[in-house]
Structure 1
Amino acid sequence: MLIAKVLPSPRICLFFSVFFFPFGSSMCIYLPLLTTPEADEIMRALLIMQEKQSAANVGFSLSLFSSFSEHLKWLLFNNPVPSLIQEGPQCGLVALWMAGALLSLPRAVSFGRIVQVALERGYTAQGEMFSAADMAKLAGEVFPCQTELLSGKLEGENRERILRHLSAGFPVLIPYPWNLVTCLSRVVCTGALLGLKRGFQLPPCQEDKEIPGLFHASPSASSFPLDAVAETYLLSKQGKSCRYQLWSYTLLQESNAQLTDFSPKRAADGKVYIVPAGGVREGLCGKAVLLRPGGSEIHKPR
């Protein structure tokens, strides 16, 4: 682990805007959610998207929701989490705090406690977290939970593990770039919206009363075969908004793969940041952290 004052990098990361902690471009799907009870937020957001998908500010050209009753069966998994707006570069720590809501904790853990432990262990200096491995260690220290660090890429076997994990009701932390100026961010994924091929027979699920073709997953639905999935979107929250966001899995995976360089703006701000040996590429690129209830245990990277 290196504790260093990062020098300006001559290389610029590539980012997509409008999503996550807004680092990139309009290639993601942003949900303009309302300040309604958590139980209704997701469905209200889907309805809004369905009604406004042609609006210029939505940036949504896939006509996803118009296909609900035509081409695919849509299966929604989601568990609500509270929101917390970050102050400074705290996106990873805020995402970790939100994830705690899905870990069946015996008692609440304050955000201040998470920050305190991260500082004491030398994982952060300003609230930043540039190491997924350190994030997994931190989660195991502040929560009674099991952690698993995925590495390599978010495709193939890792994609399957992420979808199975989310469908079981557990959170996933995924880093991604925010924009060309700010640097990177981290999102807590709390659920998935899966477009299933029409020939697939769903387990008993409740069809939404307002959107035909959209089904709310039952516990038995988590056993769906992945080869039946034609479209994959992740539901998430991050520290710059109280609203849910809906991401294309492919775009999120590609965004994560862009995490190779430290932000030029951060590098030039005169502050000290903690960067792992190997830099941002080694610490975050191709990595995700899976959390589940249980005693502290850190699994080796996959």
Structure 2
Amino acid sequence: MISPCHSPPLELPPETPAPQGLTIPPPQHPNFLDLASSPPSCSLQAPTPPPPPLPPPAPALGAAPPLVFGLEKSQLLKEALEKAGPVPSCREDVKRLLKLHKDRFRSDLQWILFCADLPSLIQEGPQCGLVALWMAGPLLLPPNGVPLERIVRVALERGYTAQGEMFSAANMGRLAREVLGCHAELLCGGLGSPNRDRILRHLVAGQPLLIPYDEDFNHEPCQRRGHKAHWAVSAGVLLGVPGVPSLGYAEDHELPGLFHPVPSTACQPPSLPEEGSPGAVYLLSKQGKSWHYQLWDYDQVRDSNLQLTDLSPSRAADGREYVVPAGGVRAGLCGQVLLLTPRAQATA
């Protein structure tokens, strides 16, 4: 059931197992000396005709392209998908972002990445909240969650939405509980104190977080008073710490200073960065307008979430019906997030 809008202090038990990271083996380089070591043989016989060409190799597991809702209706989406290639893993995307924007991340800290891979799906219309819930599905109801069509159908039947929009975090929690059988805890008061440590420990444990925020042109959080209200799912966090605990972490072989929990190994929980430490916490998030992960500064997300107050004037005047709770966007989304946990873990 949906928890009341308060956040009691929660201490992370020392025995909490670390989230499972991915071990990426180093690339295997061909040995060209082996290829050149066998000289061509000489023969007086007629040359043997070349064998028929081999069939194309089967696609590698885990390299499927992103799913796109409404792909058959959009040539632009088809072209973008053809250029996109396989969906990157969370670890690959984070390393790409760290290399690309290394000046954003404090050099006086070491970094620990906790992440869980999420599927990708490009939304059609105002369905960002339903798509975010679908992305979280495999972590809550493994291995595949539930189809997006079922999530949309139940949301329509329960009167939570008219066009796919979700302007109520409380209704989003009810929907998550029904379609995914998970525990949904609604936190009010924003991502800052007293909720901050609770949220970070939830992400360190590998559990998904649904966040309403205002979306900028590059999908990052901004402040538009709710006019660009959007939903994202976070299933990971990048923590900047003065020192990495000695138990259960390994340094990345490509990026010195970046550490990952060692799979199947008990690890010591890190000390969470203090709230007054800027640039030390980044949420690893996905949303329904890109199949890439993004790293968002925690304080930037907090500030965007806290100023969701008004329905977009263009949406209010477009002639369509939307389900907006009593009290409007401020009552339905402002300062609210959802902690989602598989039912078995929530009742353990």
Q: Same fold (TM over 0.5)?
A: yes
Structure 1 residues 48 and 280: alpha-carbon distance in aligned structure 2, compared to 1, 3 A threshold: closer
Verify the 8 A CA contact 1:167 1:222 in the aligned structure 2: no
Q: Take 2:187 and 2:163, find their aligned partners in 1: how far apart are those partners?
A: 25
Question: SS at the partner of 2:142?
Answer: coil
* AA partner of residue 197 (structure 1): P
Question: Structure 1: how far apart are the matches of 2:97 and 2:158?
Answer: 44
Give the equivalent residue in structure 2 for 1:189.
Answer: 234
**Residue identity opposite 2:111 in structure 1:** W
Query: Hey, what does 2:321 align to over in structure 1?
Result: 272
1:225 corresponds to 2:265: no
Which of 257, 260, 264 is the matching residue for 1:216? Answer: 260
CA offset at residue 159 of structure 1? 1.1
- Seen in structure 2, the aligned counterparts of structure 1 residues 47 and 115 have a Cα distance that, compared at 3 Å, is closer
Deviations 1:177-229 (A, max 9, x none): 1255962100000100000023x534320110010010012464472222578
Structure 1 distance, partners of 2:253, 2:117, is 20
CA distance 1:72–1:150, shift in 2 (3 Å)? same
Per-residue Cα deviation, 1:29-70 (whole angstroms, up to 9, x for no partner): xxxxx744543x5335424542x33xxxxxxxx823572xxx
- Root-mean-square deviation over aligned CA pairs: 2.5
Higher relative contact order (CA 8 A, sep 6+): 1
Larger Rg: 2
Which amino acid letter does the alignment assign opposite residue 192 of structure 1? Answer: V
CA deviation digits over 1:150-182, x for unaligned, max 9? Answer: 001211121111111111111000000125596
The aligned residue for residue 42 of structure 1 is: 91
| Equivalence map 1:74-113=2 (5 Å) | 74-105=111-142, 108-113=145-150
- Within 5 Å, which residues of 2 pair with 1:1-302? 35-39=85-89, 41-47=90-96, 49-50=98-99, 52-53=100-101, 63-65=103-105, 67=107, 71-105=108-142, 108-179=145-216, 183-198=228-243, 201-218=245-262, 220-221=266-267, 223-227=269-273, 230=277, 231-294=280-343
Question: Equivalents in 2 of 1:283, 1:95: separation in Å?
Answer: 17
Alpha-carbon spacing, 1:106–1:74, altered in 2? closer, same or farther (3 Å): closer
Residues 209-265 of structure 1 deviation map (CA, whole Å, 9 limit, x = unaligned) = 010010012464472222578500000110001011110000000011110100111
Per-residue CA deviations over 1:83-128 (Å, capped at 9, x if unaligned) read 0111100000000000011114376411000000000000000000
In the superposition, relative to structure 1, how do residues 190 and 35 fare at CA in structure 2: closer, same or farther (>3 Å)?
Answer: farther
Contact 2:134 2:145 in 1 (8 A): no
Using the size of structure 1 for normalisation, the TM-score is 0.76
Q: Which amino acid letter does the alignment assign opposite residue 225 of structure 1?
A: S
Counterpart residue type for residue 269 of structure 2: S
- Aligned equivalents of 1:272, 1:297: Cα separation in 2: 36
Identity value in percent: 52
Mapped contact 2:186–2:337 kept (Cα < 8 A): yes
Counterpart Cα distance in 1 of 2:334 and 2:268: 28
8 Å CA contact 2:112–2:240 kept in 1: the answer is yes
Contact 1:141 1:296 in 2 (8 A): no
Tell me, yes or no, if the aligned pair for 1:196 and 1:228 is still in contact at 8 Å: no
Change in CA separation of 1:35 and 1:220 when aligned onto 2, cut-off 3 Å: farther
Confirm or deny: 8 A CA contact 1:105 1:143 kept in the other structure.
no
- Give distance in 2, aligned partners of 1:215 and 1:297: 28
Q: Is the 8 A contact 2:113 2:237 kept in 1?
A: yes
Distance 1:289 1:237, change over 3 A: same
Give the partner amino acid of 2:288: G
Q: How many residues align?
A: 251
Deviation sequence 1:258-298 (CA, Å, 0-9, x none) = 10100111111100100111110111011000111116989
Q: Contact 1:74–1:215 at 8 Å: present in 2 too?
A: yes
Return the TM-score normalized by structure 2.
0.67
**Aligned partners of 1:197 and 1:228 also within 8 Å:** no
Distance in structure 1 (CA, Å) of the matches to 2:328 and 2:344: 30
Structure 1 residues 264 and 106, CA gap change in structure 2 (3 angstroms): same
Q: 1:195 to 1:82 in 2, by over 3 A?
A: same
Question: Per the alignment, in what secondary structure is the counterpart of residue 295 of structure 2?
Answer: strand
Contact persistence 2:215–2:230 (CA under 8 A):
yes
